[in-house]
Amino acid sequence: MDEIKELAEVRLTTSEGLAEAVAGSEGSAGADVLYQWHSFSPALRQSWAAASSLIWVHVSAAGVSQLLFEDLINSDVMYTNSRGVLSRAIAEFALGFVLDIAKDAQGSLRLQQAGRWQHRVTRKIQGQSALVAGTGSIGLEIASLFHAVGLRVSGAGRSSRPGDEHFEEIRSSKDLALVVRDFDYVVLAAPLTEDTKGLVDADVLSAMKLTAHLINVGRGELVHTDALVDALRSGAIAGAALDVVHPEPLPADHPLWSMDNVILTPHMSGDTEEYLDDLGKLFVANLKRFSRGEPLENMVDKRLGFVAVS
């Protein structure tokens, strides 16, 4: 905060006071920059009429689909996100899910709680295959860690293209139902856009291996939840590990809670002990660029809903 105060007048506000804070008052100019900590708040949409002086909005999240609205998209306001800050932590979480599944950590915990000493065999990860849907910064980190433990990794993105040092091949996510049958793990790390909403539906789930697992560290709405429940109940897939679901929070009576072949965590894969500081450091670095009139990092294509990297 001290670094920020050296560069700008600072106004701290809750969502309820946002309109007044961005509009300014008699003798106080409107705000040029908004740093939005709450990555799901509708406050800017609700206060947009008062935000006529805004030049730049920064959000402490990578996924911004829930924050964009037509007036903002159509405006000249620059929009940046926190792409890359949480990528490694999320990738570690995804790898943790794979290890948990392959080594049946959940089964061991249940046996321990029951006081049973029951020897079993588990899967070897080396040589298994993973498809990572989402080839941005999070997908690249996931691929890197998966390679380190011997997984074969392919990607699914907006379009098919040749493979690279991260992915053996990259297929179009529109063809997901034609691709998933070859993989032991299907990992979702894509941004939520109109193109990716409901990406994994009944057709995709039915095309997966019977022994395959779905892992979601992206957004809950990438998956048709009812179709996933049906696939898990019928044995169409072996299981799922979900850090995100739809809806969130998951209702207490939802069937996913009680399924032995499901691992659930409450949207926490990127939240490490240091993450708030790391998010703040990214903003300070960008604010320094802004004050010098330099291009900002992590500029979101507001039409696409994410940072477009060539």
pLDDT at 309: 73
Q: Could you list the beta-strand ranges (E) of the chain.
A: 33-36, 56-59, 78-80, 129-133, 152-157, 170-172, 185-188, 213-216, 239-242, 262-264
Q: Which of 248, 274, 289, 303 is catalytic?
A: 248
Q: Active-site residue 267, yes or no?
A: yes
Let me know: does 64 contact 79? Beta carbons within 8 Å: yes
Q: Active-site residue 294, yes or no?
A: no
Same fold, 2-85+273-291 and 87-264: yes
pLDDT at 284: 97
Would you give the distance in Å from CA 264 to the centre of its chain?
Answer: 15
- Domain extents for the chain? 2-85+273-291, 87-264
Phi, psi of 36 (to 5 degrees): -100, 110
Supply the DSSP symbol for 199: -
The packing angle between helices 105-114 and 87-102, to 10°, is 60
Q: Active-site residue 26, yes or no?
A: no
Q: Which of 58, 83, 219, 246 is catalytic?
A: 219
pLDDT at 219: 95
pLDDT digits (tens, 9 = 90+) for 278-293: 999 999 999 999 999 9
pLDDT digits (tens, 9 = 90+) for 174-227: 999 999 999 999 999 999 988 999 999 999 999 999 999 999 999 999 999 999
Instruction: Evaluate if residue 34 carries a pLDDT over 80.
Output: yes
The C-alpha atoms of residue 269 and residue 94 are separated, in whole angstroms, by 8
Q: Which of 45, 147, 267, 297 is catalytic?
A: 267
Architecture of domain 87-264: 3-Layer(aba) Sandwich (3.40)
Burial class, 183, CB count within 10 angstroms (exposed 0-12 / middle 13-18 / buried 19+): buried
Instruction: Evaluate if residue 310 carries a pLDDT over 60.
Output: no
pLDDT digits (tens, 9 = 90+) for 57-116: 999 988 898 899 999 999 999 999 999 999 999 999 999 999 999 999 999 999 999 999
pLDDT digits (tens, 9 = 90+) for 143-158: 999 999 999 999 999 8
Query: Among residues of the chain, what percentage have pLDDT more than 70?
Result: 99
Compute the average pLDDT of residues 18-25. 90
pTM (2 d.p.): 0.91
3-state secondary structure of 91: helix
pLDDT digits (tens, 9 = 90+) for 214-266: 999 999 999 999 999 999 999 999 999 999 999 999 999 999 999 999 999 99
Q: How would you classify the pairing of strands 170-172 and 78-80?
A: unpaired
CA distances for 203 relative to 64, 176, 216, angstroms: 27, 9, 17
Write the class of the CATH domain 2-85+273-291.
alpha beta
